[in-house]
Amino acid sequence: MDERQLKEILGTEEVPPADENARKQAINLALAAFDEAWREPHEKHQGFGLLGRLIGRDTTRSKGRPMRMRLVFGGTAAAVLVMATASVFTARNYLEMRRLPPPMQVVQDPAGAGRDLGGMREHEFAATEQAAPAQAEDRSNTVVDRLAPNVAQTTTEKAAGPQSTDARRQLERQYRRSKPVQGGGLSTIAQSPGEAVRPPHYQDVGRDQFQSVEQNPVKRAVEDPISTFSIDVDTASYAFVRRQLNRGVLPQTDAVRIEELINYFTYDYPLPEARERPFETTVTVTPSPWKAGSKLIHVGIKGYDIEPAEKPRSNLVFLLDVSGSMNAPDKLPLMVTSMKLLLDVLGPDDTVAIVVYAGAAGTVLEPTKVAEKHKILAALDRLRAGGSTAGAEGIRQAYALAEASLDDKAVNRVILATDGDFNVGITNREELKDFIERKRATGIFLSVLGFGQGNLNDHLMQTLAQNGNGVAAHIDTLNEARKVLVEEASSALFPIAKDVKIQVEFNPDTVAEYRLIGYETRALAREDFSNDKVDAGDIGAGHTVTVIYEITPVGSDHRMIEPSRYETTPRVGRDTAFADEYAFLKIRHKLPDQDRSTLITTPVTFGHETTHEASDPGAREARWATAVAAFGQLLKGGQYTGAYGYDDVIALAQGAKGEDRFGYRAEFINLVRLARSVSAPTKD
């Protein structure tokens, strides 16, 4: 519709007098519409300026693209209102409106109003932001400079009226003085007198932090027959490894936790029949494909799966990192979308609260039933990134909010979403660990979702999740968010067993050597196994866990450790009551509402042996887990895999892929191909 046609329409209608309240309402609605269009999942726009908004293009790029939105006029009355607004709306009015604080205000903390949050009162959180060091000005990249001269002049003159030249120059100076100021929370970006300028996406390289541990060594059964460790159901390592390989680089060895690669996949293990015995064990013994004469003992566990009618109510607090380091497409936008996916699987009586933290922490949303989903979505949509990272203060406030609405009959959980870059307040892992351990005793658990790379503090995330009786996952794609928060929501939210510990005693009459593949960060002392005061990992509803030991039977010619000079004669064939046992498996666990553990035992016998060619589900799942374990060992340097290579892993995995309902196993095979390509030496 051109100007002439609009005038003809307006000429047929009576134009109402300009109303100040109507004008402000129209402006707020228009700005909200533009902001909504700006928030696209993979947006590349770095800030729509005033003139860009007026002409409908992204003026911050040399080649602007039309905005992906449609302006719908709801009849003649809407057109009249827009024209009435335009007649009194100058560029100066617009700039004044943009300096107003956002409409959503931070809610008072339930523990007490006006609490000091990092030098800031809570009622000031939404309107006050910390100033970051000013970045160097790039005058060639201002909004006005990027516009065609005639468009800049014409548009400004129409907005400013008769004094077009002076108005245009003043507006240009204001834009050139504009600098992004980091603050975070609900506001967009703190503005100088010019238009709000969004800072560039945060990017960092080489600052990912992982715990450095040595791989489990080979041990002699006659000297050290007992192996003890905590269960682990985390999957963060697999997602990080996948991300690195998709970028064409090998992950650093400390980022590869083999047990998390193995447990990323679900396995076809039998389900227990009752909650009182929350899991059954499946034991399989197969030949080792990478070392002749050795065998692999597979221990599989599948947790009891809760029926929908049995699921308790969920009382969740989303603790969301909105610091400056989250200002990237794969961080804050992906985090917000992930939380929305989780909302879709919650029940109407479940409650959600939202706490955010940047330079300070604030409550964005008090506990709200999911039946009022629109309120939760509105709060999520207002989040912006900026400022430093006072993660410890956010954790305190999230736990305070969870305690205020604690429900003994519900699942009370804090879900922390962050890149782990805590740099304000308590940053010491041990202090945070002690705090979370104390809060765990109140019945509030903590799960951690990691986002982004280059600045990922994986070590801190693992510490928090392990001591908060929760899972740690890395969300690198929307598909991973769907897997963790939709497909596996029950296992992530509803524990069916806590403090799960495994202890394996090897029979020195049949086993010469053994080593545990993975679980280095979960090792426990032998005496911790029977001590119910010692914390261990949890298993959620429907979770599967797989453990693999490599053993060298007595009498094998392929031992890793040479026999000692004074070792007794070979023990093979000794007439004992346990002559057909490789090991004795013991598992301790507590039901979620109990403090005393229950013991489950299973002997590992010669009768559990099978071949790689066997067609039964147990043998197939063992082959798949073996392929993943081999891949993880190769990524860590292949210290124990000999000549076994990526091609061997691919061949073994292809024969064990099975149904692969969601394509995760096919994706794994492609990752092995990527690793093979990246690892291949280049030819001169």
CA distance 130 to 245: 37
Domain span(s) for CATH 2.60.40.1230 in the chain: 219-307+496-557+577-679
Q: Which CATH number fits domain 318-473: 1.10.1200.10, 3.40.50.20, 3.40.50.410, 3.50.50.60?
A: 3.40.50.410
Under the banding of pLDDT at 50, 70 and 90, the label for residue 460 is: confident
Query: How much is the CA Rg of the chain, to the nearest whole Å?
Result: 30
The residue-averaged pLDDT of 449-468 equals 85
The residue-averaged pLDDT of 288-316 equals 92
The residue-averaged pLDDT of 80-105 equals 39
Tens digit of pLDDT for each residue in 194-205? 444 444 554 555
What pLDDT score does 209 carry? 81
182 against 571, higher pLDDT: 571
Long-range contacts of 243-252 (CB under 8 A, 24+ apart): 243/453, 243/474, 243/476, 244/453, 245/671, 245/674, 245/675, 245/678, 246/674, 248/674, 248/678, 249/678, 250/635, 250/675, 250/678, 250/679, 251/635, 252/208, 252/210
CA-wise closest residue to 67 among 102, 28, 24, 33 = 33
Residue 610 pLDDT greater than 60, yes or no: yes
Residue 89 pLDDT greater than 50, yes or no: no
CA-wise closest residue to 101 among 375, 384, 326 = 384
What pLDDT score does 593 carry? 86
Residue 667 pLDDT greater than 50, yes or no: yes
Q: Let me know: does 515 contact 209? Beta carbons within 8 Å.
A: no
Q: Angle at Cα 130 formed by Cα 126 and Cα 132, nearest 5°? A: 140
Query: Which of 291-300, 381-390, 490-499 is predicted with the least confidence, judged by mean pLDDT?
Result: 381-390
Residue 78 pLDDT greater than 80, yes or no: no
What pLDDT score does 203 carry? 54
Residue 547 pLDDT greater than 80, yes or no: yes
Tens digit of pLDDT for each residue in 407-452? 888 899 999 998 876 654 555 667 788 888 888 888 899 999 999 8
Alpha helices in 50-111 (DSSP H): 50-55, 76-88, 91-98
What pLDDT score does 414 carry? 94
Tens digit of pLDDT for each residue in 526-545? 999 999 999 999 999 989 99
Tens digit of pLDDT for each residue in 22-43? 555 555 555 555 555 545 444 4
Q: Let me know: does 51 contact 95? Beta carbons within 8 Å.
A: no
What pLDDT score does 483 carry? 95
Q: What is the dihedral of CA 509, 510, 513, 517, to 10 degrees?
A: -130
Q: Let me know: does 499 contact 588? Beta carbons within 8 Å.
A: yes
Phi, psi of 531, rounded to the nearest 5 degrees: -95, 110
CA distance 195 to 53: 11
The token duo for 463 is 């510490």
In the block, tokens 């516009």 appear at 147
Under the banding of pLDDT at 50, 70 and 90, the label for residue 581 is: very high
Q: Angle at Cα 92 formed by Cα 90 and Cα 97, nearest 5°? A: 100
Under the banding of pLDDT at 50, 70 and 90, the label for residue 114 is: very low
Under the banding of pLDDT at 50, 70 and 90, the label for residue 575 is: low
Tens digit of pLDDT for each residue in 226-263? 999 999 899 999 999 999 999 999 999 999 999 999 99
Tell me if residue 118 falls in helix, strand or coil: coil
Residue 611 pLDDT greater than 90, yes or no: no
Under the banding of pLDDT at 50, 70 and 90, the label for residue 473 is: very high
Tell me if residue 353 falls in helix, strand or coil: strand
CA distance 564 to 438: 48
What pLDDT score does 405 carry? 86
Q: pTM (2 decimals)?
A: 0.71
What pLDDT score does 240 carry? 94
Region of 658 on the Ramachandran plot (φ > 0 left; ψ -120 to 50 alpha; else beta): left
Residue 70 pLDDT greater than 50, yes or no: no
In the block, tokens 């061997």 appear at 648
CA-wise closest residue to 623 among 631, 611, 640 = 611
CA distance 153 to 600: 80
Tell me if residue 351 falls in helix, strand or coil: strand
The residue-averaged pLDDT of 392-405 equals 86
Under the banding of pLDDT at 50, 70 and 90, the label for residue 585 is: very high
Q: Let me know: does 352 contact 315? Beta carbons within 8 Å.
A: no
What pLDDT score does 171 carry? 40
Report percent pLDDT > 90 for the chain: 45
Under the banding of pLDDT at 50, 70 and 90, the label for residue 118 is: very low
Query: Which of 14-18, 148-152, 390-394, 418-422 is predicted with the least confidence, judged by mean pLDDT?
Result: 148-152
Under the banding of pLDDT at 50, 70 and 90, the label for residue 225 is: very high
Q: Which CATH number fits domain 219-307+496-557+577-679: 3.40.50.150, 2.60.40.1230, 3.30.530.20, 2.40.50.100?
A: 2.60.40.1230
Query: What residue ranges in 339-421 does DSSP mark as E strands?
Result: 351-357, 361-369, 411-418
525 against 187, higher pLDDT: 525
Residue 121 identity: R
Tens digit of pLDDT for each residue in 301-310? 999 998 888 8
The token duo for 645 is 């290579």
What pLDDT score does 15 carry? 47
Residue 14 pLDDT greater than 80, yes or no: no
CA distance 295 to 555: 13
